[in-house]
Structure 1
Amino acid sequence: MITKEEYLILFRKYQQGECTPEEIGLLESFKDDITLPDAEWERSLGNEQEIYGSIKQRLDAHIRAERQEVAVKRSSIIRRSVIWSAAAAVIVVTVSAALWMKGKQPELRRQPVAINRTDSVQPIAPGGDKAYLTMANGAIVDLNDAGNGDITVLNGVQVRKLKDGVIVYRMVDDAGKTTAALAQAYNSITTPRGGQYQVILSDGTKVWLNAASVLKYPAAFPAKERTVELSGEAYFEVARNSKSPFKVQVKGTTVHVLGTHFNINAYNDEKHVKTTLLEGSVKLTSKKSEVLLKPGEQGIVSASSADFDVERVDLDEVVAWKNGFFVFNNEDIHSIMKRISRWYDVDVEFADDFRNKNFGGTVSRFNDVSLVLRALELTGSVHFKMEGRKIIVMP
């Protein structure tokens, strides 16, 4: 049996065509490691071993069906990656047994059906490196179209696209001295739905932006303080400078740091702002309270209450988006579909008779959306219909 972390590493290697035959064998064997996460089995749900066997049988049948689509002759690396992505979306989903039941009756739900599509529906690809840079003078640069190299040099600050998905700010004049004008020259980088991007700020701080997010920052920081504003989700690796504290302003909360790694989730359509610390320490402040986080802790605050709640969290789950995965941990379908909507740039509608369900599992963010939905459908408790770029969630 391999660990989750080992599986994720091997799966990424497989997608890149770098796995050895032995490593491919490990990936194949992982399908036998499915577990039912319920700590205590409820007798009223039926026989535990029978339910487990039924789940495993469905997964094996799905994997066999996917492999039958592959021609006997050796396929290209790209084709193999697509097929394995489909299988992997099933292999790593950990199914909660309760979702297989109708109420608390021992009968299994009906077999999940194929995702309904209208004839005109085209496959919906995952998001990628897409963003727009807005300069202090109002000029907007589409970073998707910009070539690698200098984007602009303004008052001693060079803005350069290193490669797809990464831009960097660098002081090139006056030995790094920042003028008052530069400190007031705010830029912003915006990722649309279906986009992600990394920006390296003038002080060396690295910021990864998730889809549908905006980061506002000065072209160069003043000497005594570094302040940025965030809407959406971002992961920060802050360059240490004890003489110049780093602050993130987000929806009425201020995150104070010196040099540390943390993630902030603060979408406007979410009720809470969640700040998760991976390394170092951060202080969260609002109008009424403040709290100091330790590594592995998440500070949660809502617009209706300025008080912080602090809890221990799974760090791998929090930053999975940055590493190319969706991780669902007993997460309700409405929350899951918000994430899918942002990453795949699709609209989501729920059928009137849909009852909320929770799911757990891990799926690659670089699958076609239909493969992600199919993995959820394998639980038998949710089904989907696709109309153009709209997904309808059904019982």
Structure 2
Amino acid sequence: MDDKNKHILSLIEKFEQGRASEEDMQELDVWFRSHEANTDLTDRLTPEQQELAKSNLLKRISNRIDSELPKQTALPQRKTVSSLWIKMAAACVLLVCFGTYFLLDNRQPAQQEMAGRVADFAPGSNKAVLTLGNGTQIVLDEAQNGELANEGNTIIRKTDEGKIVYGQNGESQSVMSNTLATPKGGTYHLILADGTAVWLNASSSITYPSAFTENTREISISGEAYLEVAHNPGKPFWVKTGAQTVEVLGTHFNINAYGGQNAIKTTLLEGSVAITSAGQRKLLKPGEQGLLDGNTIHIAKVDVREVMAWKEGFFDFADADIQTVMQEFARWYDLDIVFDGQQTKETFTGRIPRSWTFAKVMDIMGTFKSTHITAEGRRIMIKQK
């Protein structure tokens, strides 16, 4: 049994004994969901080989469960149900162990290949650059807390929580355009002069006025951002992203408009918004996503929890291909991803904490079994075996 599966068994034992931490539970959840979605360890065997393997493996699994897991004591009904799940989960772990060792011994486990070739990188953190109207740039993760600058009657402060807040000291006389930009591996929280809250994902930017003095409030965004717009019916809020404009009165929504993607995604959590582009205008309801693909706006129901996972500190994938997964990782871990040739059609399902290091994430990503992943510094190369 390799080290990875010994580690999973130790987590199962901790869970059974009531000692598992929140991070332990997250790792178990990610691991089991990913393997459940990719049950192809023996897909290269003939039907006869699979039947023989199944018979031998089940015997070994049964013996191993009894030796690896602690004996049951008197447990309430809820715990008994959990115990059954744990034994099934343990069987899944052991199936992977024995299946790989006895049946596919000519294939080196993908987890070991990754561990041997991929360096470790820290996850992203709270960092961004603020560009003022006069061109001055402030590296926010290096700036001291407190007042950063004044623009007219606008005061710009960095709080103890590490967010930027715009405040007014009397009637604004001078309005200047500011830009807040996050690099790869960065995220930031911003409060605009009207009280609108903005969370920027990695490799994103927002351009906005230091104060809203006109009849409308207009900003522009690239990359991904979540907004909670301050309600003010007398001053409609407009968000521009490429060829799309979102009209808001007061609402919570997410915009994904990364360069290089074929579509802009606007997801509504609360309130209402109108999306306009090339003469089209579509209204969104909570739980809906507007997808601007070329000149056409498509509306569909989506899993809001999956869309908002980045803001809550997670990657959340549902049947995602390797290109989608690795592009997310590239932005968060500040990597350059190179795809070589045709890629695997395997997919990944799982919810992974963004606080994990890259090596730990890639250990889980061993579910892409037909893929070679190697690294030269921060340049990650991916090709099919």
Query: What's the TM-score, normalizing by structure 2?
Result: 0.74
How far 1:332 moved relative to its partner? 1.4
Q: Go from structure 1 to structure 2 and tell me whether the alpha carbon gap of 1:202 and 1:368 turns closer, same or farther (over 3 Å shift).
A: same
CA distance in 1, matches of 2:364, 2:259: 28
Secondary structure at the counterpart of residue 134 of structure 2: coil
Q: How much does 1:351 deviate?
A: 2.8
2:279 to 265, 288, 302: 288
Aligned twin of 1:350: 339
Gaps of at least 5 residues in structure 2 are: 1-16, 69-88, 94-98
Counterpart in the other structure of 1:194: 185
Give the Cα–Cα distance (whole angstroms) in 1 for the partners of residues 44 and 185 of structure 2. Answer: 43
Task: Give 1:127's match in structure 2, choosing from 124, 128, 151.
Answer: 124
In structure 1, C-alpha distance between the alignment counterparts of 2:54 and 2:195, rounded to whole Å: 55
Q: Which runs of 5+ in 1 are unaligned?
A: 1-20, 65-90, 96-100
Matched with 1:24 is: 20
Q: CA distance change for structure 1 residues 107 and 141 in 2, over 3 Å: closer, same or farther? A: same
Q: Give the 3 Å change call, closer, same or farther, for CA 37–124 of structure 1 in structure 2.
A: closer
Output aligned runs, 1:268-347, within 5 Å.
268-302=259-293, 305-347=294-336
Cα pair distance change 1:108/1:50, threshold 3 Å: farther
Q: 1:376 touches 1:382 (CA, 8 Å); kept in 2?
A: no
User: 2:147 matched to 1:150?
Assistant: yes
User: Contact (CA 8 Å) 1:116, 1:386: kept in 2 or not?
Assistant: no
Q: Distance in 2 between matches of 1:275 and 1:34?
A: 31
Task: Give the aligned length.
Answer: 319
CA distance in 1: counterparts of 2:194 and 2:142, whole angstroms: 26
> In the aligned structure 2, how far is the partner of 1:108 from the partner of 1:239?
60
1:354, CA displacement in angstroms? 3.4
How far did residue 352 of structure 1 move?
Answer: 2.7
Corresponding position of 2:349? 360
> Distance between the aligned counterparts of 2:200 and 2:380, measured in 1?
25
Look up the equivalent residue of 1:130 and give its one-letter code: K
CA apart distance, 1:154: 2.1
> 2:162 & 2:372 partners in 1: Cα distance?
34
For residues 126 and 27 of structure 1, what CA distance do their matches in structure 2 show?
15
Q: CA RMSD in A?
A: 3.5
> Hey, what does 1:234 align to over in structure 2?
225
8 Å Cα contact 1:284/1:292 also seen in 2: yes
Structure whose alpha-carbon radius of gyration is higher: 2
Change (3 A) 1:114 1:203: same
Change (3 A) 1:132 1:115: farther
Q: What is the deviation of 1:384?
A: 1.5
Percentage of matched positions with identical amino acids? 38
Structure-2 separation of matches of 1:130 and 1:362: 24
Q: Give the AA of the match of 1:347.
A: D
More off after superposition, 185-194 vs 121-130: 121-130
SS in 2 for 1:319: helix
The structure 1 residue matched to 2:365, chosen from 364, 370, 376, is 376
Q: Distance in 1 between matches of 2:337 and 2:238?
A: 35
Distance 1:386 1:217 in 2: 39
Q: Once the 2 structures are TM-superposed, how far is the Cα of residue 28 of structure 1 from its aligned partner?
A: 5.7
Rounded Cα–Cα distance in structure 1 between residues aligned with 2:338 and 2:177: 37
